[in-house]
Structure 1
């Protein structure tokens, strides 16, 4: 059976007006079109719904029984459409974002504040999860957008570089023996000047990038602790347990924890920070203004190069 709501609405209109001429006028269709719809409806229900004479149209007993059922069904369908419309409208006012915990702690509060000025009626739902979970949540549609550095390749996602971060060296105050920068920015240090303290390594695959530079100074194969969490590396550096390496998107967290921070040079290392979206899915409208806020704040707080 393939009965349309259009046919059912036409049935109710004809049952109420009892005239093909007036019902067709009200429905803005031809009499022949209305008659064809009713014949098809009767065929599908396998019964006559109307008694037709040259002067009048009246409901059969089957038609009389059908009227209240169709009225109830169309009313419920209308309620369902209204409810779904409200859900859709609410969804358009919510943006769900996934970022790593250190990014969330460093500057996402400022990003949300900046974004709220442009989109005051939008609620941002923030999910602070590791890089693998960010990609999985974007792929599944659980979040609208994710942000991270050096994402692993994933066939179901698309990535767009937003800005570059510096690689920073961090340690307990006084360990790096830094001189203030002339331009008022971060002081710098070179790989060759790294103090002979334990290296606080990351269990993330991105550690391979750091090891390539440590190899040049003969320190890539030292025995060292490895930590899953970047905030742990920052905390251990602050406690004097070694020196760590973090991208500049962790800079605000480093400064709050009171660690000494220097931008690595000779050579300097840049790390791309990406927007992650689901491949083949239209990017939600709210993503772009959120990205604009994120980039603006990242430059303001020194996260972006």
Structure 2
């Protein structure tokens, strides 16, 4: 059986007006079209719903039984449409975002403030989790969008580079023996100039990139502590326990904690920062203004511009 709501509405209209002419006019269809719908409805129910004469149309006993049931079905359908519409409207005003904790601490408060200016009334639900969890949450649909540096390639996600970061060296103030930079930018330090202090390593796979450069100066295999959290590395560097390496998107938190920061050169190291979305899923409308806010704040903080 394939009864449509359109057929039921036409049935109730004809039952009320008892005239094919007036019912067809009210429904904005032809009398022939209305007659065809009613014959099809009777065929699906395998019974007559109307007695037709040259002057009048009246309900059969079966048609009389169908009237309250059709009314109830259409009322429930309308209620469901309203409820689903409210759910959809609410979903359109909520954006769920996943980022690494260091990005959340460094940038997300300002990003959310800027986004609120573009999209007032939208709720941002923030999930601060590690890189692997970001990818899993995007792929499962648990979040609308994720942001991270150098994500792994997965079959269920798409990634778009938003900007490039630079690799920074951090330490307790006075440790790196830096000279002020021209033009008020960040001071620089060469890999070969790194002080002979413990290297605060990351347990993240991105440490492999850093080790490639440490290998060139003979320091890739030193005994060193390793930390899972970048904020921990920053805090330990601030406490004088060694030197660390962080992408420039961590610059705001480094500055707040008062650590010494230098741009690594010879060579400088660029790190792509990506937007992560679910492959095959339509990107929610709110993602684009959030990305625009993210990039704007990153540039204003000196994270996503040339040093």
State the TM-score, normalizing by the size of structure 1.
0.97
The answer as to 2:268 corresponding to 1:258 is: no
User: Which residue of structure 1 aligns with residue 92 of structure 2?
Assistant: 92
SS of the aligned residue for 2:121 comes to: coil
d(CA) in 1 for partners of 2:55, 2:260: 96
SS of the aligned residue for 1:277 comes to: strand
User: Which residue of structure 2 aligns with residue 172 of structure 1?
Assistant: 172
Displacement of 1:282 = 2.1
d(CA) in 2 for partners of 1:2, 1:126: 44
SS of the aligned residue for 1:183 comes to: helix
d(CA) in 2 for partners of 1:283, 1:66: 44
User: Which residue of structure 1 aligns with residue 284 of structure 2?
Assistant: 284
SS of the aligned residue for 1:201 comes to: strand
d(CA) in 1 for partners of 2:107, 2:245: 19
Displacement of 1:165 = 0.7
SS of the aligned residue for 2:84 comes to: helix
d(CA) in 2 for partners of 1:114, 1:30: 55
The answer as to 2:191 corresponding to 1:194 is: no
List runs of 5+ in structure 2 lacking aligned partners.
none
User: Which residue of structure 1 aligns with residue 215 of structure 2?
Assistant: 215
d(CA) in 2 for partners of 1:250, 1:208: 19
Displacement of 1:103 = 0.1
d(CA) in 2 for partners of 1:120, 1:7: 42
SS of the aligned residue for 1:35 comes to: helix
Alignment of 1:1-305 (within 5 A): 1-305=1-305
SS of the aligned residue for 1:284 comes to: coil
Cα deviation code 1:14-73 (max 9, x no counterpart): 100011111111112222221121111112112221111121111111111111111111
Displacement of 1:258 = 1.7
d(CA) in 1 for partners of 2:289, 2:42: 54
Displacement of 1:186 = 1.3
d(CA) in 2 for partners of 1:247, 1:39: 71
Cα deviation code 1:80-135 (max 9, x no counterpart): 11111121122112221111110000011111111111111222211111111111
List runs of 5+ in structure 1 lacking aligned partners.
none
d(CA) in 2 for partners of 1:137, 1:253: 25
d(CA) in 1 for partners of 2:296, 2:274: 15
d(CA) in 1 for partners of 2:26, 2:146: 51
